[in-house]
Structure 1
């Protein structure tokens, strides 16, 4: 009798399947489990995008490492899945450096379009691009994402995390950052300190980006590009790195959450 009652209560109190997936990563989840959650319980996906290019004394793939780690940090809170990172991008003026890759806009635009269409086909309503690389890539992502949203009736958001969180950089470090500078190096340091090679650092490796209509150089003469003259040099402070990582993630997650709330409020 006791065993019968035990089975009875087990059946009553045990859900048909878990309220959370076993993993948030689309390339690690089983197709049957995916179908149990998308779109019925999860309709948001995070797509990290980046490229391979030099980043001072951090890894060439920093533009991939950062948005993927960000996606992992915020996915559960946003009830989102994580699409595989698009690791190659439109590198631009640093394409000549060792280990860098350059994908042309003519190849990149249709590829990212098909990825977004695939996410829409898989019934995601909210497609959030966490972009780790700027330059011409940003414009392509924004254009293609807008076109796919209008064509397929999905909702897209493109975020350049370092730019959107520039106020966090000023809050934590009291100065501006740069490409492979203070802020980006700190973010990578918080993710994986082994990717930061402080012993190779030389402040002379950094160059401030030119003001508009002053000068340009290809390749760019330094792998560290400062946003402001005299500011943004890496400091390798572990405590600040962790603080920066957490505050950036919170700010980005807040934007995503608020954007989805307003989409829903407008009935879009």
Structure 2
């Protein structure tokens, strides 16, 4: 009887210890401050910061540039033992700013804001600050510059990833062709996250425009909310199986790369 009681108590303590060792959520805006202090930086040193904007995306949601990196962060956070910072939902939209529902934040406002966010993440104890960026153009340049400045000033390690560009080889692998802004690849990624955000009944192939070759032409607003990287390629196909495959393969590649970069930072003693 004593042996059974001891086994029961020991098992209970083991379960309690395990529960205490597991973080309740990966999302920073859902975690309690006391639990945060218990895990950062002693047990968790990496944070994922999704960044995007609000702009038209063909037949998917205006917030696709926010939806994609946040879903990616949620999918890979456990694998990276990372927390997820709240998404920065407004950005430097550029030539799509005139479309209904779009927002344009000036560089003069965006640059110090993202700088203070990165400083706050460093101040809270994160050593590895990974920006999962969902929107390109001038926003990419600002993010790269500010992230580099913060890394050098505060002794943290920063990485900025434009997921769609980084995973361009996955686009070719899955779809056998290139994609585009709100094109085949980005629409598929959103469809894998939430098919209700994809309104294929509104899709018309003529609503697409191939991006111009450098130095040939430019237009503001850009004449289409779907911009193809290559003429004749990247039209959305709304195939759910391909969408799911693409989502999984893109996330696996991004996660593996982040792990590799952190490993090399550690090997270099940085």
Give the TM-score, by structure 2 length: 0.96
Query: In the TM superposition, what whole-angstrom CA distance separates every residue of 1:3-24 from its partner, at most 9, and x where no partner exists?
Result: 9634455346642853221100
**What residue number does 1:245 align with?**
247
Give me the whole-angstrom Cα distance separating, in 1, the residues matched to 2:15 and 2:27: 28
| Deviation by residue 1:248-268 (Cα, 9 ceiling, x = unmatched) | 000000110000000000000
Alignment deviations for residues 140-166 of structure 1 (CA, whole Å, 9 cap, x no partner): 000000000000000000000000000
Whole-angstrom CA distance in 2 between matches of 1:119 and 1:94: 30
- Which residue matches 1:255? 257
1:267 and 2:269 matched: yes
1:227 alignment counterpart: 229
What is the distance in 2 between the residues matched to 1:53 and 1:9? Answer: 53
Where do residues 55-94 of structure 1 align in structure 2 (5 Å cutoff)?
55-94=57-96
The CA distance in 1 between the partners of 2:13 and 2:262, in whole Å, is 36
Instruction: Write out the 4+ residue segments of structure 1 that deviate beyond 6 Å after TM superposition.
Output: none
More helix by share: 2
Residue aligned with 2:227, SS: strand
From 123, 128, 131, give the equivalent of 1:129: 131
- Name structure 2 gaps, 5 residues minimum: none
The reply to whether residue 146 of structure 1 matches residue 148 of structure 2 is: yes
- The total of aligned residue pairs comes to 268
Consecutive unaligned residues of structure 1, counting only runs of 5 or more, are none
CA separation of 1:205 and 1:154: change in aligned 2, threshold 3 A: same
TM-score when normalising by structure 1 = 0.97
SS at match of 1:143: helix
- CA 1:201–1:267: 2 relative to 1, 3 Å: same
Structure 2 distance, partners of 1:217, 1:252, is 33
In structure 2, do the counterparts of structure 1 residues 236 and 13 end up closer, same or farther at CA, with 3 Å as the change threshold? closer
In the aligned structure 1, how far is the partner of 2:9 from the partner of 2:223? 70
Partner Cα distance (2:62, 2:27) in 1:
23
Pairwise CA RMSD: 1.3
- The reply to whether residue 170 of structure 1 matches residue 172 of structure 2 is yes
C-alpha separation in 1, matches of 2:154 and 2:206:
49
